[in-house]
């Protein structure tokens, strides 16, 4: 496997997170790393962004390895990732931080610190009736209830500010920070027609919202927010309407963007998984990982993350790694925690 940077020709058949428009909206330094087989044919691509934090250069991935060669083996992908590590080190990257929660890598490079992770993905190739029948009865009940009460689901860029405010407030309630409005606006506008800004309103007041970037390949529930005491079923109704609308646009699948593997039964993570899985999606598994390229700067980064957020997702979930196995299609084979 030979790797080198390339100017990737994005199309809607790939993840929206691999597009130039998205990548340049989140970093002024971005690119695509290509993996070529022994015949010189492009086998895989991995988009990356570089984030500068003072003197520290961090790399992050917003989508997993894109398989151009459909039968690329997991071992070949691992070889590609191993070589990619050396490439990023030559660029002066100090550490590769955990990828965004939509990324489910099939493997990880030697020397990485990794953790199992998952995501619920709905296959939108089924007809609407079949999709509805897969939705859990409790979800169907609250969706109907919200509709009867007069909750309305709307979309469009004119809802950008109200959606932002609701998302930021939702993050604040979870003691998490969120980007400023100008960064948010720039990201949304860069996506053009490839993003849905969805809001659920009741008597003119915003109850729930979702930001959903998409391409023909997949739609992603990237950000969401709810009022402190929303009308019951508002978010469920919004999600269902989004799923139906995206199917009508020819989108192949809907990704709820992240699920911890085997969380504690009564935890917030377990409740969130129950909410997502009740929409009828399948839980796929993969790996989320980070890599230290400069021990000193990486240590400084880890300390900063622990102080700010109590650590990152890889450190929190790493202990589950040994009992987790998936196949080459991200199907979960075993979870022995």
**All residues at 6 or more sequence positions from 175 whose CB lies less than 8 Å from its CB, including other chains:** none
Look up residue 29 and give its DSSP letter: S
d(CA 207, CA 184): 20
Tell me the mean pLDDT in the region 263-291: 96
CATH class of the domain comprising 125-251: alpha beta
Distances (CA, A) of 333 to 101, 107, 283, 325, 327: 21, 14, 11, 5, 7
Contact criterion met (CB below 8 Å) for 254 and 276: no
- The pLDDT, as a whole number, for residue 311 is 86
CATH number of 2-119+284-331: 3.40.630
Q: Please report which residue ranges of 174-212 form alpha helices under DSSP H.
A: 181-190
pLDDT in tens, 223-253: 999 999 999 999 999 999 999 999 999 999 9
pLDDT in tens, 41-60: 999 999 999 999 888 999 99
Strands of 113-241 (E only): list them. Answer: 113-123, 152-155, 195-202, 205-213, 219-220, 223-226
- Give per-residue burial for 108-133: e unless 16+ CB within 10 Å, then b: bbeebbbbbbbbbbbebeeeeeebbe
Tell me the mean pLDDT in the region 163-167: 98
**To the nearest whole number, what is the mean pLDDT of the chain?**
96
d(CA 30, CA 51): 9
- The pLDDT, as a whole number, for residue 24 is 95
| Domain chopping of the chain, boundaries | 2-119+284-331, 125-251
Whole-model pTM: value is 0.95
Tell me the mean pLDDT in the region 267-274: 95
Domain 125-251 in the same topology as domain 2-119+284-331: yes
- Residue 321: other Cβ atoms inside 10 A: 17
- Consecutive H or E run containing 168: helix 160-173
Chain centre to alpha carbon of residue 96 = 17
């Amino acid at each position: 496997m030979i790797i080198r940077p390339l100017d990737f020709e994005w199309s809607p058949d790939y993840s929206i997170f691999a597009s130039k428009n998205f990548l340049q909206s989140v970093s002024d330094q971005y690119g695509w790393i290509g993996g070529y087989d022994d015949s010189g044919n492009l086998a895989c691509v991995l988009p990356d962004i570089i984030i500068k934090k003072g003197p520290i250069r961090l790399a992050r991935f917003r989508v997993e390895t894109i398989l151009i060669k459909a039968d690329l083996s997991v071992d070949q992908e691992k070889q590609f990732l191993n070589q990619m590590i050396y490439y990023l080190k030559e660029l002066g990257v100090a550490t590769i931080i955990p990828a965004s929660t939509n990324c489910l890598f099939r493997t990880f490079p030697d020397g990485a610190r990794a953790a199992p992770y998952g995501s619920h993905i709905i296959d939108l190739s089924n007809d609407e009736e079949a999709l509805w029948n897969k939705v859990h009865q409790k979800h169907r009940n609250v969706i109907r209830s919200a509709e009867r009460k007069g909750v309305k689901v709307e979309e469009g860029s004119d809802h950008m500010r109200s959606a932002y405010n609701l998302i930021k407030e939702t993050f604040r309630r979870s003691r998490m920070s969120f980007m400023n409005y100008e960064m948010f606006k720039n990201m949304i506008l860069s996506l053009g027609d490839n993003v849905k800004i969805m809001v659920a309103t009741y008597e003119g007041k915003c109850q729930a919202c979702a930001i959903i970037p998409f391409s023909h390949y997949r739609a992603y529930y990237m950000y969401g927010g709810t009022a402190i005491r929303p009308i019951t079923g508002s978010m469920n109704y919004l999600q269902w309407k989004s799923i139906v609308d995206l199917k009508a646009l020819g989108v192949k699948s809907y990704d709820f963007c992240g699920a911890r593997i085997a969380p504690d039964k009564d935890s917030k993570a377990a409740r969130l998984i129950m909410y997502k899985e009740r929409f009828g999606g399948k839980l796929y598994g993969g790996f989320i990982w980070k890599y230290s390229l400069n021990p000193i700067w990486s240590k400084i980064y880890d300390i900063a993350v622990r102080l700010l957020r109590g650590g990152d997702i890889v450190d929190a979930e790493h202990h589950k790694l040994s009992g987790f196995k998936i196949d080459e299609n991200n199907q979960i084979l075993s979870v022995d925690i």
